[in-house]
Amino acid sequence: MKAIYDLLLQQRAQGKKSLAVLIDPDKIEKLSELLSQAKLFPPDFFFVGGSLLSEGKLEKCIQQIRASSSLPIILFPGNEMQISSTADALLLLSVISGRNPELLIGRHVAAAGIIHKSGLEIISTGYMLIESGAPTAVSYISNTQPIPRDKKSIAALTALAGEQLGMKLIYLEAGSGAMFPVPVEMIETVRKNITIPIITGGGIKTKSEIIERCRAGADVIVIGNVLEENPVLLKEFSGALNSLNKV
Ligand code: 1GP
């Protein structure tokens, strides 16, 4: 398989936007239905992970996706226990919006050996939590404060620092099930200040929210909750991406 990061850069160079479906292995009641929809209306990637996995279903979940699809599977780990060599790549997240040293370097040191042995493609990712209307699982679990929604310049400088530190992606995260997705204006400002690809997710529920965020400069849109609840929405969401990519 072509290296996933190279693929992202290539797509970015062509102005192509991507859709990633986030699957939380703890919530896979409708996974078969979602995978059937993904055959008909394929996203670009599957992301797999969650803030807290309590049921040890990561491997089973990856196997189930593999059995039904040849799309890349990217780990989006809530912690170092969510690493599996059966995926294709790992977003190595550093929570650069926060000041929790464990999530900036501590856990990375603990997991470095396992990650190295996994053979996964490692994509160093500056992960930025953005305030989204109410506390989210990710802000609670990470024990960090999100960047206020109206502080575009803090977000832009944080993303720029991430790029200067050598990170390959910036992930603007409102949090799973967020009340409000990351503001469009914030994505626009971050886009103007960095050159690396931008991923955004958290609380995105509609086609227009996808389109606005892509137009603002996001390269990858991640959707979890609404597709978990209602897999048939994938048709509409991948249609939105296709319409943007045709222009
Ligand atoms: C990925 O956490 C998000 O960044 C997914 O959020 O579950 O709200 O779509 P939703």
Token pair listed for 84: 């599996």
- Write down the pLDDT at residue 39: 98
Q: Give the residue, out of 48, 172, 173, with the most ligand 1 atoms within 8 A of its beta carbon, to mutate for a pocket test.
A: 173
The residue count of the chain comes to: 247
Q: Give the residue, out of 74, 76, 173, 176, with the most ligand 1 atoms within 8 A of its beta carbon, to mutate for a pocket test.
A: 176
CA of 180 to the centre of ligand 1 (A): 11
Q: Which residues line ligand 1 (CB under 6 A)?
A: 22, 173, 175-178, 201-204, 222-225
The pTM (predicted TM-score) of the whole model is: 0.97
Question: CA 75, CA 83: separation in Å to the nearest integer?
Answer: 7
Domains and CATH numbers, the chain: 4-246 (3.20.20.390)
- Write down the pLDDT at residue 1: 61
- Write down the pLDDT at residue 81: 83
- Write down the pLDDT at residue 53: 66
Closest C-alpha among 246, 240, 247 to residue 43 = 240
The single residue listed with the structure tokens 């799309």 is 71
- Write down the pLDDT at residue 148: 98
CA of 82 to the centre of ligand 1 (A): 17
Atom of ligand 1 nearest to the CA of 178: 8
| C-alpha separations of 42 from 64, 185, 207, 227, 237 in Å | 16, 29, 16, 13, 10
CA of 120 to the centre of ligand 1 (A): 23
Token pair listed for 96: 């650069």
Q: Take atom 3 of ligand 1 and give the residue whose Cα is closest.
A: 202
- Write down the pLDDT at residue 247: 72
**Residues whose CB falls within 8 Å of the CB of residue 213, separated by 6 or more in sequence, listed in order:** 181, 182, 184, 187, 200, 204, 221
CA of 10 to the centre of ligand 1 (A): 24
Mean pLDDT per 10-residue segment, the chain (247 residues): 89 96 92 97 95 80 96 93 94 97 96 96 98 93 96 98 98 96 98 98 98 98 97 97 90
190 three-class SS? helix
Q: Are the C-beta atoms of residues 54 and 29 closer than 8 Å to each other?
A: no
Long-range CB contact pairs, 178-182, < 8 A, 24+: 178/132, 178/133, 178/134, 178/136, 178/202, 178/203, 179/132, 179/133, 179/134, 179/203, 180/132, 180/133, 180/149, 181/132, 181/209, 181/213, 182/130, 182/132, 182/213
Closest C-alpha among 171, 234, 230, 216 to residue 197 = 171
Strand partners, 46: 21, 73
Atom of ligand 1 nearest to the CA of 175: 2
- Write down the pLDDT at residue 19: 98
Atom of ligand 1 nearest to the CA of 200: 4
